Amino acid sequence: MKPVITVGDKGVTDALISELNGALEHHELIKVKVRAGNRDTRDETIGILAEKSAAELISRVGNIATLYKARRKDPKIVLPKAG
């Protein structure tokens, strides 16, 4: 799976959040690439993306985060509940 969204020099913008929400609605599970100088900035950016899109952070490897949000209608992916 390749990243669908890339966060660049402009950071998290309203347009980026709009694109992220559209990608999540279409795919449900996506990868996001965050181009940031250091780990703390990447962590903060990924947290903001998850919060603003109401998505769950599934995993993170380096500067790539995997986010999940079920479609409003007819979700195809269902995550197991933590037990």
Per DSSP, the residues of 18-49 read HHHHHHHHHHSEEEEEE--SSHHHHHHHHHHH
- 7-34 average pLDDT score: 94
Contact 53, 20 (CB under 8 A): yes
pTM: 0.88
Which is more confidently placed, 77 or 48?
A: 48
> At residue 83, does pLDDT exceed 70?
no
Domain 5-61 belongs in CATH node 3.40.50.720: no
pLDDT, tens only, 31-73: 999 998 788 999 999 999 999 999 999 999 999 999 999 998 8
Place of tokens 């996001």: 32
